[in-house]
Structures are given as C-alpha cells and as structure tokens.
Amino acid sequence: MTTLTFQNKALSVINQQNQIWLTLTEIAKALGYSNDTGIRKIYDRHQDEFRPNMTALIDMPTAGGIQKVRIFSLRGCHLIGMFSHTKAAKEFRHWALDVLDKEIERQNEQQTAVKIAPLSKQHQQNIKELVMGRAKSLPKDQQARATITQWAALKTHFGKSYKDINDDQYLEAVSLLARLPLDGELLLDQPQAPQTGIVLTPDELALLLRLWSSSTNLHESGHHLLRRLNGLLVGREVDSLQFNVRLHTELLKAIHPLIERLMLKGQITPKLQLLEHKKH
C-alpha cells in the first residue's frame, strides 16, 4: 500500500480502479480528528451530495477480520473538507485538488505512452506467404520482379519495412497486396477483348468449377466458424482462420468474372454449374 503526505502525516492510499482513495480513518487523521466518528457524521449528514465516483464500500482486512470499509476518492476527500471546520480543512481541500491534478496528469501520460502492439510474428509470416504466393503464381521470369514490387509497395505505403508496422495495420497491408497489380498477372476484373479461339477442355472446366465450389464453401463455412467459435479461439488460431477466410474471399472475387465470361461463351451453363456444386 502506497502513502501520501499531508502536513507531515503519512496517509495510507488505496488503489481502486487505478485511482487514489482514502479511508475514513486516514481522512480523519489528515483533518486533525482524534477518530473517524466526526468524518462519519459529516458523510451521514451530506451523503446525498456524494456521487458514486466519490465514495464506495469495499471489503478490507481489519483487526476483526474482513469488514466493509467506506473509502473516498480525491473528489470525495475534497467534499469532506468542504464540510469540515477544523484548522486543517482549508489546506486539506487544496491538497486534495493538487493531488487530483497530478493524478489526472499521470493517467494522461500513461495513456499517451501506451504503445500500439508491433506486427505479430504470425502476421509477418502471413504477409510473407501472401507475397511469395502471388509471385510464384506468375511465370518464372516475372517472379523476382513481382516479389520486389510487392515489398516496395508496402514500404512506400507505410514508409517503413512491413516488419515495423503496427499490428492494427495488418489488414491494411493484406488488402494492399491483394489489390496490387503485377506484371504478367491476368487482371480478370478489367475488360478484355473476347478470345473466341480459346476453349477449355472438360477437365479444365471441371477443375475450375471445383475450385469455385470449394472456395465458396470454405468462404461461407469459414465466416460461420468465426462467428460460432468467437471467444474460443485465441492468438494464432484466430489469425490463421481469418487469414484463410480472406484468401478464399479474394479467390472468389478473382474467379467470378471468369465464370461469367465462360457462361456467356456457352462453356459453362447455370445447370452445369449447379450439377458441379451437387457433386462436391
């Protein structure tokens, strides 16, 4: 238990909700009462003027065991001083406000000094896998350049290495990488000239539809699991599931325009797509 000093008297302090509180006994000592009876009478007469943030009853160990003890915050102490008529009352009121000002300043400094968590190791690994995965999906002669492009985009956007960003910027980094156009990559969401000479084989069509079906199922079931398991998963378990759900969401966005174009060309019909979903 820490102490404060008033007129060379050491007052024992109770830390309640990260604030300074004093017991009846300590306030009586500061104001020059021989016991806490005078303070009790002051409170009893004016208790309707004390707000919940000024006084409280708490369990405290005493000589007679655990008992309910009334305590007062610095604002409560100041109000007690307003009703007290001892010689020390006026100075006690000023003292309580001075300590309160210092306490508020300390709390503000603590809040300002709180550091945002750095990017976690798991999130670093996820970003690295996303960068490498996108690069490896390109022709080999484009992979090195694509890797450099992605790292450079992150550094330009955040002004520092991806490892030095804050953890609350993780989703922003993933979104940036997912939307970044890369040389050699087919941009399916942009209008393209029709390529009537290209016809997918039945096996290629089946593979595309299986990919669409599995991504749809994993996207939907992943969001369902996140809702159902909320509060049960922790740390890396949450990160891993959220990361995979996002990847399947991005995959669906990429495949959907291709599915629509193939349906227009007559290579895929709604019926065929429905049958493919039922198979899997």
Q: How many CA atoms lie within 13 A of 145 on its CB side?
A: 10
> For the chain, give me the number of helices (H) and strands (E)?
10, 6
* Backbone φ and ψ of 67, nearest 5°: -140, 160
Please identify, among 113, 131, 158, the residue that sits at the C-terminal boundary of a domain.
113
Same domain for 180 and 190? no
Please identify, among 134, 153, 185, the residue that sits at the C-terminal boundary of a domain.
185
- Residue-by-residue pLDDT tens, the chain, 280 positions: 588 899 999 999 998 878 899 999 999 999 999 999 999 999 999 999 999 999 999 998 888 889 899 999 999 999 999 999 999 999 999 999 999 888 888 777 766 655 567 888 998 998 998 898 888 888 888 899 999 999 999 999 999 999 999 888 888 888 888 888 888 765 544 444 444 445 556 666 666 666 666 666 665 566 566 566 655 555 555 556 566 666 656 666 666 666 666 655 555 554 434 334 434 4
Measure the CA–CA gap between 103 and 109, rounded to whole angstroms: 10
Measure the CA–CA gap between 217 and 244, rounded to whole angstroms: 12
CATH of the domain at 101: 3.10.260
Q: CB under 8 Å, gap of 24 or more: what pairs does 100-109 form?
A: 100/74, 100/75, 103/19, 103/20, 103/74, 107/18
Residue in 221, 251, 260, 41 with CA at minimum distance from that of residue 137? 251
Same domain for 248 and 160? no
* Number of structural domains the chain divides into: 3
Residue in 17, 42, 46, 49 with CA at minimum distance from that of residue 28? 42
What does the pLDDT look like over 14-63, one tens digit per residue?
Answer: 988 788 999 999 999 999 999 999 999 999 999 999 999 999 999 988 88
Same domain for 213 and 171? no
Same domain for 14 and 42? yes
Same domain for 226 and 259? yes
Please identify, among 185, 211, 233, the residue that sits at the C-terminal boundary of a domain.
185
Q: Is the pTM of this model over 0.85?
A: no
Same domain for 8 and 102? yes
Same domain for 139 and 125? yes
149 lies in which domain range? 117-185
Q: CB under 8 Å, gap of 24 or more: what pairs does 240-247 form?
A: 240/122, 243/126, 243/174, 244/218, 245/218, 245/219, 246/174, 246/178, 247/130
Same domain for 271 and 208? yes
Same domain for 45 and 95? yes
